[in-house]
Amino acid sequence: MVDEVILSAKDICMDFSSVRVLHNVDVQFEKGMVYGVVGENGAGKSTLMRILSGFLQPTRGDIFIEGHKVQLNPLKAKEYGIILIPQELNLVDSLRVYENVFLGSEVRKGFFLNRSSMIEATRRYMQQLSLRIDPQTYVSELSPAQKQMVEIVKAISKSVKILIMDEPTSSLSQEEISKLFDVIRSMKNSGITVVFISHKLKEVKVVTDSLIILRDGRKVHEGKTKELSERQIAELMIGRKIDEMYPPKLSPSNELILQVKNLTTKDGTVKNANFEVRKGEILGFYGLVGSGRTELMEAIIGVRKVDSGQILLNGKQVKIESPQDAKKLGIVYLPEDRKTAGIILSLQVFMNTTIMSLEKFSKVLLGRRREIETFRNYEKKFDIKTRTPFQLAKTLSGGNQQKVVISKLVNTGAKIFIFDEPTRGVDVNAKHQIYEIMHQMIKEYDATFVVVSSELPEIIGICNRIMVMRSGEITACISGEQISEKNLIYHATGLEEGDSYKG
């Protein structure tokens, strides 16, 4: 294979509401290679890929295709053979497989659609990738992995040259992942360049030839995959030694503060959950997407209907039917999706800090001066970077937004904090600070944490014990020496790790 650069980008910068999320990134992709683009959540991977496939216009920088400078939009990019499969797949559930494959480029016979030739062509592509999906089934009936494959077939049908896959494995089982890797290899062999975005190092290590590592919107490394160990990749991603990233674990007391017994939700997303949290503990919850972690937390704070089960606080049974009840009992929740459920973007930052504890600032009228003082306090304590308390929350970076949300929760005076993906979309530095804040709160306020996270290094790095969930049930409680990636994945998927990554 010749070193033929087919797509390159120079000096790409990108700003979102005056926050820079990409800084002067240079990348180039050669024909028939598999690239891994890795970085933590919020490192700018998806943004970069959306720029390369024409969905976003960079604030600055140029894109070249086979040496020619181009202006991309999604249609043009498709013409050049650049296709992005986003994390949220772009399939129409109510249409059949072949209809999705040929959506927008239907084959016609005269005025009518040529169904049989489309079905035949789809079948041929399937064979090419040795897949067994009937072109005539409805997409809604497919598994997430099969949907992923349909996206790939769709790309191949458009004579793809560069296929960009954004976190394709996030909802796949180990077996499905290895199937996907087979497909990636066969594409590589037929000269297609594959760009594989992930923050799972094992997968990257197995399937890619070359690596581009991003951190906080900057390219920090580029080179052959085999030259780096997993640990080295991880340290490049977080920008410091792993041991420095997570503060040394504290030891919790033996006092049980929260107990959940036989909790089952009405919609069946959580079945018979049992667990307990000790005062001063950081208890982790790990599981794949859809395993019921978030749903369990929502049930505890009263936004998801509970069918049966008990919640005990300090040994006494309590009734929580709404977040108001939870707040009164000192239990607060940091939702996983910050922008839609955590922060209120169009509200001024200081108002975000006080919105959950306004009763502290008012008898009848709000004491705005005291609200601002309170915010200033947290600003200093949590190192929140703002120009003024009056700026709108949407003008803050992800990390600072998250710190504001945390300040909102802390200001309620709660003792039990349920953090769902607390560092999603947060830069490495802020991540580290958030862990520090958690420790500070345990030491100063007797706080207790329940942390839901899908980032293995994080959950391993900060939690005293980890509960693993699968299909709505708690499958394991792992603590101490037992905590390892292998163990967690095993309990989360129910599969022995190892041979599934066979090349």
Q: How far is the CB of 296 from other proteins (least distance, A)?
A: 15
Would you say 321 or 496 has its CB closer to other proteins?
321
Residue partners of 447: CB distance under 8 A and separation at least 6: 280, 414, 415, 416, 417, 438, 441
| Long-range Cβ contact pairs of 148-153 (< 8 A, separation 24 or more) | 148/85, 148/89, 148/172, 148/176, 148/180, 149/180, 149/183, 150/91, 150/97, 150/100, 150/101, 151/85, 151/89, 151/90, 151/91, 152/85, 152/183, 152/187, 153/101, 153/122, 153/125, 153/126, 153/129
Contact between 166 and 87 under an 8 Å Cβ cutoff? The reply is: yes
Contact between 214 and 27 under an 8 Å Cβ cutoff? The reply is: no
Q: How far is the CB of 369 from other proteins (least distance, A)?
A: 6
- Of the ranges 167-175, 231-239, 363-371, 456-464, which one interacts with other proteins (CB under 8 A)? 363-371
Task: Count the residues of the shown chain that bind other proteins, applying the rule CB under 8 A.
Answer: 38
Would you say 39 or 335 has its CB closer to other proteins?
335
Which of 42, 58, 280, 389 contacts other proteins by CB under 8 A? 389
- Does 345 help bind other proteins (rule: CB under 8 A)? yes
Distance CA 107, CA 121 (A): 10
- Does 346 help bind other proteins (rule: CB under 8 A)? yes
Contact between 102 and 118 under an 8 Å Cβ cutoff? The reply is: yes
Would you say 85 or 351 has its CB closer to other proteins?
351
Would you say 325 or 497 has its CB closer to other proteins?
325
Would you say 310 or 395 has its CB closer to other proteins?
395
Q: How far is the CB of 421 from other proteins (least distance, A)?
A: 14
62, 65, 261 from 36: Cα distances, Å: 21, 20, 43
Would you say 6 or 326 has its CB closer to other proteins?
326
Using CB under 8 A as the binding rule, the residues of this chain from 153 to 192 that contact other proteins are none
Would you say 207 or 349 has its CB closer to other proteins?
349
CA 140 and chain centroid, separation: 23
Q: How far is the CB of 361 from other proteins (least distance, A)?
A: 8
- Does 388 help bind other proteins (rule: CB under 8 A)? yes
| E strand or H helix that includes residue 326 | helix 323-328
Q: What is the contact mask toward other proteins in residues 311 to 340, using x (rule: CB under 8 A)?
A: -----------xxx-xx----xx-x----x
DSSP class of residue 501?
A: G
The footprint of other proteins (CB under 8 A) covers 301, 303, 322-324, 326-327, 332-333, 335, 340-347, 351, 354-356, 358-359, 362, 364-366, 368-369, 372, 387-391, 408, 412
